[in-house]
Structure 1
Amino acid sequence: MARQERAEVTRAAILDGAARAFDAEGYHGTTLGDIVKEAGVTKGALYFHFSSKEELAQALIDEQFSVPGPAADPEGAGVQAVIDILHMMARQLVEDVRVRAGIRLVIDRSSKTGIVSEPYTRWIELLKAHLVRAQERGDLKPDVDPGQVARLIVGSWTGLQLSSQVLSGRQELSAETTLMWEMLLPSIVVPRRLGRFRPEGSVEEAARELVAVE
């Protein structure tokens, strides 16, 4: 295996090990020694890729934002894109330990080191950009503020996924996300365009969820 490939494999192992440790014990309950043990690497290998626990945590938090933004696909931007982003996140929270760890890390770090708002503001800006595009094409009601709606969506879904974790281990999160959209869409979408949008996710997103279940 080439040196670069080995480095990529090692980095991935470190991130996976860190995610499992953070997901189980939280940011403050996890040490670098725990991560080294979970990842099956040496401490030297860990420090080659990450200088601190904080840098590792930030790398996991940043993975939440691998979703392409509206600028990457202007034609795909809009209300359905926002719906699908939340459904994708709901699925990943169940299936992907890195995503679960990233979500937990935001909360853990805020509780001890002061408010960590940057991940929330990034999500709000991402969704706002989609909603601005939706309003420009006439899907969003003209009197609706895309920024306020984006903030409401992020806050509502954050609370929804936390309560779902407690009540069902997030097994009901996709259904609860659909219910949230069924109640929210009539308030923000122009009535004659409401039938264009699928609160359960688009055909493509629904197909991915079906494959994941099978």
Structure 2
Amino acid sequence: MARQARAELTRDAVLNGAAEVFLRLGYANASLIDIMTQANVTKGALYFHFGSKEELARAVVDLGNERLRAACAGLLEPTVPALEAAIGISYLVADLATRDPMVAAMFNLSRQIGNFQGTNEENIVVRWLDGHAALAKRAIDEGDLLPDLDAASVSRIWIEMTSGVRA
């Protein structure tokens, strides 16, 4: 059991170190040596958990996305008005993108890697667009947005506005 706990600590150190390095240098300029140095781990420890820089970057994307989803969970309760939820999410994104290196790295990497997928091949942008479209539809149904608006278009605008605030 102690070995498993140590392996998890090492994996976490690698992920945290990778997030910091990817933020500082970008995906293209980051090397695994930079990440090993930042995480204070050996090459063997890094490769035990991640087979390549791309796999590691995708794991950072996944973890950043998980943290963002967890932070937004309370706003997605059906009792929270949809427009209020969308506004709250935009504040959370701006806050986490400046305070949490994993979330900030997720945003940068998802753009730098190019296809917006984590290790499970889930396209995070499609998921965000779908989630925001559901919120827009609900806001229309709740009377907070005009009934003739297209929920998918509102979703794209919300995502672009949030990205602009974060940039």
TM-score range, shorter chain: 0.7 to 0.9
Q: Which runs of 5+ in 1 are unaligned?
A: 163-214
Deviation at 1:61, TM superposition (A): 1.6
Residues in 2 aligned to 1:15 and 1:116: alpha-carbon distance in whole angstroms = 18
Query: Do residues 81 (structure 1) and 80 (structure 2) align?
Result: no
1:142 to 133, 147, 164: 147
The number of residue pairs the alignment matches comes to 157
The answer to whether residue 11 in structure 2 is matched with residue 7 in structure 1 is no
Partner residue in 2 for 1:160: 165
Partner Cα separation in structure 2 for residue 75 and residue 59 of structure 1: 33
What per-residue deviation string (whole Å, max 9, x for no partner) do you get for residues 52-83 of structure 1?
Answer: 1111111222234331569x733336111111
> Does the 8 A contact of 2:93 with 2:166 survive in 1?
no
- Partner AA of 1:88 in structure 2: L
Alpha-carbon separation, structure 2, partners of 1:98 and 1:64: 5
TM-score normalised over the length of structure 2:
0.82
For the 8 Å contact 2:21–2:34, the answer to whether it is kept is yes
The one of 104, 125, 128 equivalent to 1:123 is 128
Aligned to 2:138: 133
Counterparts of 1:55 and 1:103, CA distance in 2: 16
| Map of 1:97 onto structure 2 | 101
The list of structure 1 runs, each at least 4 consecutive aligned residues, that deviate by more than 6 angstroms after superposition, is none
> Structure 1 pair 77/40, CA: closer, same or farther in 2 (3 Å)?
farther
**CA–CA distance in structure 1, aligned partners of residues 107 and 14 of structure 2:** 18
Distance of aligned partners of 1:78 and 1:105 in 2 relative to their CA distance in 1, 3 Å threshold: same
2:35 and 2:28 map into 1 onto residues whose CA distance is 13
Contact 2:19 2:102 in 1 (8 A): yes
Which residue identity is paired with 2:36?
Answer: V
Q: Is the alpha carbon distance of 1:63 and 1:141 closer, same or farther for their aligned partners in structure 2, counting shifts above 3 Å?
A: farther
Report the aligned-residue RMSD: 2.2
Q: Tell me, in whole angstroms, the C-alpha distance in 2 between the residues paired with 1:150 and 1:12.
A: 33
Residue 54 of structure 2 aligns with which residue?
54
Return the offset for 1:116: 4.3
Give the alignment's TM-score, normalised by structure 1. Answer: 0.65
Superimposed CA distance per residue, residues 105-141 of structure 1 (whole angstroms, 9 cap, x where no aligned partner) = 122223xxxx548332221112112222222333322
Unmatched segments (≥5 aa) in structure 2: 118-122
Residue type of the alignment partner of 1:78: A
Which residue of 2 is the match for residue 18 of structure 1?
18
